[in-house]
Amino acid sequence: MASSHTNSPLESQNPASTPPPSHIPDTSISGADTTLADTVRVLRKQKWILIAAISLGAAFGIYKSLVRPKLYIASGEIQVRPGASNQYRLGEMAMPMADSANRLNTEVAILKSDSLLLNVVRELHLQDNPVFLGARGPVTHRDLDDPAVRQATLKQLAAGLSVDLVEKTDLIKISYSSLSPTLSAQIVNTVIQDYIQRSFQTRYASTQRVSEWLSSQLDNLRQDVESSQERLMDLQKKLGVLGFDADRSQISDQLEDLTKAATDAQLSRIMAEARFRILSSSNPNSSNFTDPSMGSNASTGSESLVLNSLRTQQATLSSQFAQLTAQFGPNYPQVKQTRAALDKVDEQVKQEQARLIAQARQAYDAAITNENMMDSALNNRKSDAYKLRDDMVQYTILQREFESKRLLYEGLLNRLSQASIEAGLESAEIDIVDTALIPASPTMPRRSTTILVPVIFCGLFGMLLAFARENLDTGLRDISEIEALTELPTLSIIPKTRRGEDSSDIASLTPAQRNVNVISTPKSHFAESFRALRTSLLLSMAGHPPRTILVTSSTPSEGKTTTATNLACVLAQNNAKVLLLDADLRRPSVHHRFGLNGKTGLTTVLTGATTLEEALQRIPEVPNLDILVSGPVPPFPTEMLSSEAMLSLLKHLTEQYAHIVIDSPPVLSVTDGIILARLCDAVALVIRHGKSNKNVVRRTRDLLVRSGAPINGIVLNAVDLSSPDYYGYYGYYNYSYYSSEGSEWDTPNGESDSKSRWYKKGRK
């Protein structure tokens, strides 16, 4: 029956280098969307919390409906008309319409104000009213000046008072609820009357404050008007404002004449300067020396004729002198006479030229003086005009200031006169529509509503508490949650049961029948779950079923030994030679389950104290099952399991048995499970339903994957089939899959024969 297979961990040169198994699905952990089915499942799971919350809400609602007092509600209505008094205002002083919504909200806030409620308390003496305070007998006098008493009374009054706007109207509804119908109506009517009185008083006081302020401002304003008027009159006297327009016209004419005269003087100066400079720069002996102003006026013209006459005589004498000199010589008497006459004419020409230059100089100086005088007179007149203009501007400013202050003073004086008349007009904006009447009967909510509201709220709170408890629970109970956490498939779900629970006479059973349920109850759900585990393991590896199967867990008490013993029996019941190896060398328990001798076993074989054949034990209930118990507990279990002797023993056992089921210690307790997992073909991780912690299972899975262990999947143990998480998972077991003879592989439609043939073929 021995057969060889490839890629066995026993034949590996370096087991530590074995890569992680490829059959583990590479899926990411993602939170599933909450569906209606999940919600129902959680509520069914936490149904007692929900039932307790709803029961508590119902009890509270019933108690509240029984002990609730009879309250009497009295109501009254008032109308607030924003701007209603504007029709009585005088002239342009009517106030603009305010926003109706804001105005009404403001009035509602005033109706709820502490100052108004305090007036109601003082007027009705509510601090000493036993009905208002809810006292059964008379109460002692309490002082409202005490802050604690005042605050408590106002708080109690505000709690029973309700002020609401009537939709789409200018009406305000005021209601009060108390134990007394008379007191409720009395409080509502008092609130309305005090509110109207307060409205009148506050608006009247506000108008009076404005009047007082206007009076104080009028005194200062009157002084300013008088001061402005005095400054204006002084400036009128200074300017002679009555003939101001004539003076302004005269100054304008004078400026025009002076400007024209200054221009003429400037032209005369320019001409005189030109004449003087021409005469001064001309050669007196030249015949071209003439007066440039010749012909411009009579005097200068006659003077130029004299000079020309002298020059003509000078020319004639010079001609005669030249002829006589040439004819008679220089000493001739007539020549000398002509020479004397020529010298005299030359002297006269020089004198005439000098006179003309001096005359031009004098005319030039006179023109400069005249121009300067005209400019000075013009500038002086301009200064007078500028000053007059500035005075006129100042006069205009003072006149406008005086008129402005005069108009403001007269307007405020008129407004002050109207203020006393308008002081009481605001009270006409509030009208009483309905006064509060004494209610005939108490107003009480329906009993069903009183009970239903706490039930709904407590039910919602119970649902929140149920979901919170579900989210805070770190135990693993749901298959999808476990598979998402470990990224491993679920090989089988083992239902929760008791050993030998279907046996009628426990005392007559053998230890194996009492402790191994697949032997004592082969037709139970428990036995069928292990057959499903057997099928999952045999089909988990492509090409050949696993030979060495390690059953381990994260922590103790998760059911790994129960799983290993029942799995070994189920494998052996299928006509396969199976060995159950107890490798838990620290807390062995397999020999107790089958009632075997624990003095010889794995430790004695590894140490050489006994042979394998001497250590193997069998039970009559399962003929194909050999059991190798752990033997005496060694001092160093880890070293013994990782020794070469252990490797050789496992290699030898795989040649003799079709399957070897190994029960190992918990992975997180010691490292024995990690060492054994690397030597096996398949590893089944046992997780106890509701006990295993998420972090612990995740840590175990990581350790096994990092060590290269071939993890085939998980086995969910001790599942309560009546739980909402697994409701319906095993409903199909109500239909028996077994014949009357109790065959462990008989299924409908001959399915067992085909599976048995496949299994035997694959095993060979």
Q: What pLDDT, on the 0 to 100 scale, is given for residue 656?
A: 94
**Contact by Cβ (8 Å): 103, 111:** no
**Contact by Cβ (8 Å): 554, 667:** yes
| Total-model pTM | 0.46
- Distance, in Å, from the CA atom of 396 to the CA atom of 402, rounded to the nearest integer, reads 10
Which whole number is the average pLDDT over 301-321?
Answer: 75
Burial 593-623 (b: 16+ CB within 10 A, else e): bbebebebbbbbbbeeebeeeebbbebebbe
- At 437-451, the pLDDT tens digits run 888 877 766 777 778
Q: Which CATH number fits domain 481-726: 3.40.50.300, 1.20.1250.20, 3.40.50.2300, 3.30.70.260?
A: 3.40.50.300
- Distance, in Å, from the CA atom of 745 to the CA atom of 751, rounded to the nearest integer, reads 9
Which whole number is the average pLDDT over 231-254?
Answer: 60
Phi (first) and psi of residue 427, to 5 degrees: -65, -15
Q: pLDDT band at residue 681, thresholds of 50, 70 and 90?
A: very high
- At 96-138, the pLDDT tens digits run 444 667 778 888 888 888 888 888 988 888 888 888 887 776 7
**Contact by Cβ (8 Å): 593, 500:** no
**Cβ-based neighbour number of residue 738 at 10 Å:** 16
Query: Which residue type does 218 have?
Result: L
Structure tokens at 648: 């050789």
Instruction: State yes or no: pLDDT of 504 exceeds 80.
Output: no
3-state class (DSSP) for residue 49: helix
The residues spanned by each domain of the chain are 42-68+444-471, 244-421, 481-726
Instruction: State yes or no: pLDDT of 500 exceeds 50.
Output: no
- Length of the chain in residues, anyone? 764
- At 597-615, the pLDDT tens digits run 999 999 999 999 999 999 9
Percentage, residues of the chain above pLDDT 70: 74
Q: pLDDT band at residue 6, thresholds of 50, 70 and 90?
A: very low
Mean pLDDT of the chain: 77
What residues pair up with 116 in beta bridges, in sequence order?
Answer: none
- Distance, in Å, from the CA atom of 552 to the CA atom of 700, rounded to the nearest integer, reads 10
Question: Among 205-219, 330-344, 452-466, 597-611, which stretch is predicted with the lowest mean pLDDT?
Answer: 205-219
- Distance, in Å, from the CA atom of 100 to the CA atom of 83, rounded to the nearest integer, reads 9
- Distance, in Å, from the CA atom of 186 to the CA atom of 157, rounded to the nearest integer, reads 13
Give the position of tokens 């309305």. 192
Which whole number is the average pLDDT over 416-430?
Answer: 59
Strand runs (DSSP E) across 82-202, as ranges?
161-165, 171-178
The three state secondary structure string of 232-290 is: HHHHHHHHCHHHHHHHHHHHHHHHHHHHHHHHHHHHHHHHHHHHHHHHHHCCCCCCCCC
- Neighbour order of strands in the sheet with 171-178: 161-165, 171-178, 72-80, 430-434
- At 696-743, the pLDDT tens digits run 888 999 999 999 999 999 998 888 777 655 554 544 444 444 433 333
**Contact by Cβ (8 Å): 617, 597:** yes
Q: What pLDDT, on the 0 to 100 scale, is given for residue 624?
A: 92
DSSP string, 377-405: HHHHHHHHHHHHHHHHHHHHHHHHHHHHH
Q: What pLDDT, on the 0 to 100 scale, is given for residue 406?
A: 74
Higher local confidence (pLDDT), 753 or 382 = 382
Range from 266-270, 476-480, 740-744 that averages highest in pLDDT? 266-270
3-state class (DSSP) for residue 159: helix
**Contact by Cβ (8 Å): 156, 132:** yes
